[in-house]
């Protein structure tokens, strides 16, 4: 094995021929292990131990799926809590085409879009005169974000309570029940699941 660099060209083909069988067989064998056996094993364990999560954390009502606890839905009706704007097309919260707006910070299209959203939020929430919460006017990364911050949820309580004829405390309690805290109180943000709040609001009779 004392081949020097100068002898390389003559040896390349001989070497490739000699290594062809291990290359192909190893490729096939390891493909079967990592490409079929592995995902099947994980699916088996997942469906056995965490069937709900493995199948999309679906929320069932009367035996029918009314959404996923992890995937947001679009809301624009004043009686509902509103979530993040979604940049997916053609419709918002299109779970077959996830993605963000990819607008850069200086892009005039971003400024115009946010300006319109702020106007819309102000019109829908006349009781609120302060700054508009950022989650309500900026698009999420996935276009499917199921959450907003507790502050952005509280901002909408007056509107929802008035339209539904509910005491504000009642709406507040539902929002708190649908709030998750950061992991270990440290990683990530506190967040309110918008769809779960709205399902709970509709369930009040």
| Distances, alpha carbon 151 to alpha carbons 101, 131, 159, in Å | 23, 11, 14
Q: Toward another protein, which CB reaches closer, 60 or 169?
A: 60
Q: Toward another protein, which CB reaches closer, 97 or 177?
A: 97
CB of 46 to another protein, least distance (A): 4
CB of 107 to another protein, least distance (A): 5
Q: Tokens in use for 189?
A: 């943000």
Q: Tokens in use for 176?
A: 């708190």
Q: Toward another protein, which CB reaches closer, 8 or 173?
A: 8
Q: Toward another protein, which CB reaches closer, 3 or 169?
A: 3
d(CA 178, CA 51): 22
> Cβ atoms within 10 A of the Cβ of 127, count?
11
CB of 166 to another protein, least distance (A): 17
Dmax of the chain from CA atoms?
88
Question: Helix or strand or coil: residue 128?
Answer: coil
CB of 156 to another protein, least distance (A): 14
């Amino acid at each position: 094995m004392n081949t020097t660099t100068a002898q390389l060209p003559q040896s390349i083909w001989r070497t490739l021929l000699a290594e062809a069988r291990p290359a192909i067989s190893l490729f096939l064998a390891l493909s079967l292990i990592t490409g079929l056996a592995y995902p099947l094993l994980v699916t088996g364990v997942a469906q056995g131990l965490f069937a709900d999560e493995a199948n999309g954390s679906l929320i069932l009502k009367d035996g029918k799926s009314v959404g996923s606890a992890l995937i947001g839905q679009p809301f624009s009706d004043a009686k509902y809590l509103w979530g993040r704007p979604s940049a997916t097309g053609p419709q918002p919260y299109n779970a077959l085409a996830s993605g963000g707006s990819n607008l850069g910070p200086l892009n005039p299209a971003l400024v115009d879009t946010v300006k319109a959203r702020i106007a819309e939020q102000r019109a829908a929430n006349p009781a609120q005169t302060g700054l508009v919460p950022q989650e309500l006017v900026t698009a999420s990364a996935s276009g499917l974000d199921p959450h907003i911050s507790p502050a952005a949820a509280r901002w909408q309580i007056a509107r929802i309570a008035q339209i539904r004829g509910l005491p504000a405390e009642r709406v507040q309690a539902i929002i708190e029940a649908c709030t998750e805290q950061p992991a270990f109180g440290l990683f990530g943000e506190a967040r309110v699941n918008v769809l779960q709040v709205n399902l709970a609001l509709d369930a009040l009779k």
